[in-house]
Amino acid sequence: RQLKVAGIASISRAIVRKDKDEYIIFTEGSDLKAVLAMPEVDPTRTSSNSVHEIAAVLGIEAARNSITYELEQTLNEQGLSVDMRHNLLVADVMTNTGRVKAIGRHGISGAKTSVLARAAFEITSTHLLLAGLSGEVDILTGVAENIIVGQPVHLGTGAVSVIYKPGKGA
């Protein structure tokens, strides 16, 4: 039998820290909706690192803000300085459909239409084998696939052609 003495069932552990004249509670497990409904909790000073839960309770824009905050904290802990616009771009790509998507092969990277772009990210041989078996064709429109086959990328200076006509001018 399980016995819940008090509190929220999905929170398995809580650590209470006294900071000057107030107490701060850190939890293992989460139920943001239930925590925010408690009269003893200040909802303006409550946070969670569960992006999916934040999206469900507070909306996709709050989840986007959480992603940028968590990215910044993680990179800072590693001593890396990255322009905030890069983090904002990652958060935008992860949330632009109104739902939180993963970056990995089960999310954004796995959804690419290019065989070579998918293969460049993870499980290369599986992507190439499945593409070969199903007869997929890669039309080489993206950056990764053009780099893989050694072609110039059709962006920036690679998008311009210069033609030299001998005997004219100079």
Tens-place pLDDT, residues 57-113: 999 999 999 999 999 999 999 999 999 999 999 999 999 999 999 887 667 766 777
Q: Are 100 and 93 in contact (CB under 8 A)?
A: no
Cβ atoms 35, 46 nearer than 8 A: yes
Burial letters 141-157, b for 16+ CB under 10 A, else e: ebebbbebeeeeeeeee
91-99 long-range Cβ contacts below 8 angstroms, 24+ apart:
91/64, 91/65, 91/67, 92/64, 94/64, 94/67, 95/55, 95/60, 95/61, 95/63, 95/64, 95/67, 98/60, 99/55, 99/60
Task: Give the residue range(s) of CATH 1.10.150.390 domains in the chain.
Answer: 113-170
Q: Which helix H or strand E contains 90, and what residues bound it?
A: helix 84-95
Residue 3 — pLDDT band, cuts 50, 70, 90?
A: low
What's the mean pLDDT in 118-122? 81
Instruction: Please state which architecture CATH assigns to domain 113-170.
Output: Orthogonal Bundle (1.10)
